[in-house]
Structure 1
Amino acid sequence: MTTKALIVVDIQNDYFSGGKWVLNDVNAAADNAARIIAAARNNGDTIIHIRHETLAPDAPFFVPGSNGSQLHPKAKNIPGELVIVKHYMNPYRETELLHALQSKGVECVTIVGNMSHMCIDAVTRASDDFGFKTTVIHDACATHDLEFNGVKVPSTQVHAAFMAALRFGYASVVSTEEFLG
């Protein structure tokens, strides 16, 4: 039995072309996530897919029951892989994620998915807080441009800032090639 788990976060249709909240470089990130998922399957690691559904009736995306809220084909679960539906940025909040990991004896988690500055940040910090040895595959995560106080922040800088912060104190942050090599 393996003590490793892969947490696949919010790789959902709304983030891709034709969706309601398209991320920059999401296809390349999802392709890398698919490679990580395939490796985890080959290793017999636990794989848990996280799917966000919003609770707000006027939600801009991830509307319950919509095609946009469904897992994208590049990272879809297969039978036997748990899918956890969450309603908050942190997938541990009010879900069975922690119990699912602990019940399988997981000690190390690897994280891929969306968005770097929101749910990836939240799950990484919480995973470390819960005592898991945590790794983030930086090129298997995506985000979008942000704006604050009239300053536009390109997605590459948003992503880099969050990966640097996570690497500083919460996780090992590596590329797909480094992880698979």
Structure 2
Amino acid sequence: MSTAPRRALLVIDVQNEYFTGNLPIEYPPVTTSLPNIVQAMRTAHAAGIPVVVVQHGGPATSPVFAQGSPGWQLREEIAALPRDHLVHKTKASVFAGTDLAQWLEQHAIDTLTIVGYMTHNCDAATVYEASHRGLKVEVLADATGALPYANDGGRASAEEIHRVFCTVFHSNFAAVCSTGQWEAAAAGGVALAPDNVYLSNRRARS
């Protein structure tokens, strides 16, 4: 007999920096992702799923997320909603230098649902570490977001980055779904599963 997942919703870095600061999220647009994050938080709270809100901070001289700056502040829609735990971090992974792992263990959490920003940075680092720690992971693709990059490694649009990372997550590390799909699964106590590397590659080659 299958056991219902013991979920926690992890709301990563929904801070003003990504809306009105120096790192504006482009894809999906925040007009899509923010309402879905809010909806996921409300759904989780109503269902008794613990909500963990994460806030990233940098040094006072940093051009982004300088602690205490307007960009560092949580988006007001997120700050206004109930939460069960608040985590302050300074690294990409929410596990790095925080009490997240201990908190999850204390609450017998086996499945981590990730929303927030950025798909390819803090979300990705947390997805990989959670998976390596033996947790099941879910990523709500329409409640996360990316921005474009250009550097010596290449150039990529926000859409490309978001799509590629979500594809890679679902190939092995996390079940990627929409907010609506997750709400249905949470209501039914149903586990969501990722694909696998072999089948993901086989489909691409067929």
TM-score normalised over the length of structure 1: 0.92
Instruction: Give the Å deviation of 1:153.
Output: 1.0
Across the aligned residues of Structure 1 and Structure 2, the Cα RMSD in angstroms comes to: 1.6
SS at match of 1:144: coil
2:16 is the counterpart of 1:13:
yes
Name the counterpart of 1:83: 86
AA paired with 2:23? W
SS at match of 1:173: strand
SS at match of 2:147: coil
Instruction: Give the Å deviation of 1:130.
Output: 1.2
Contact 1:54 1:63 in 2 (8 A): yes
Which structure 2 segments of 5+ residues have no match?
185-206
> Whole-Å Cα distance in 2 between the matches of residues 58 and 144 of structure 1?
22
Instruction: Give the Å deviation of 1:150.
Output: 7.4
C-alpha spacing 1:150/1:86, structure 2 compared with 1 (3 Å): closer
> Whole-Å Cα distance in 2 between the matches of residues 78 and 161 of structure 1?
31
> Whole-Å Cα distance in 2 between the matches of residues 177 and 79 of structure 1?
20
> Whole-Å Cα distance in 2 between the matches of residues 144 and 64 of structure 1?
22
Deviates more, 1:144-153 or 1:7-16: 144-153
Instruction: Give the Å deviation of 1:54.
Output: 1.0
**Number of residue pairs the alignment of both structures matches:** 178
Contact 2:8 2:49 in 1 (8 A): yes
The match for 2:68 among 61, 65, 68 is: 65
Which structure 1 segments of 5+ residues have no match?
none
Contact 2:148 2:161 in 1 (8 A): yes
> Whole-Å Cα distance in 2 between the matches of residues 69 and 144 of structure 1?
18
2:100 is the counterpart of 1:97:
yes
AA paired with 1:5? A
Deviates more, 1:143-152 or 1:4-13: 143-152
Q: Which structure has the larger Rg?
A: 2
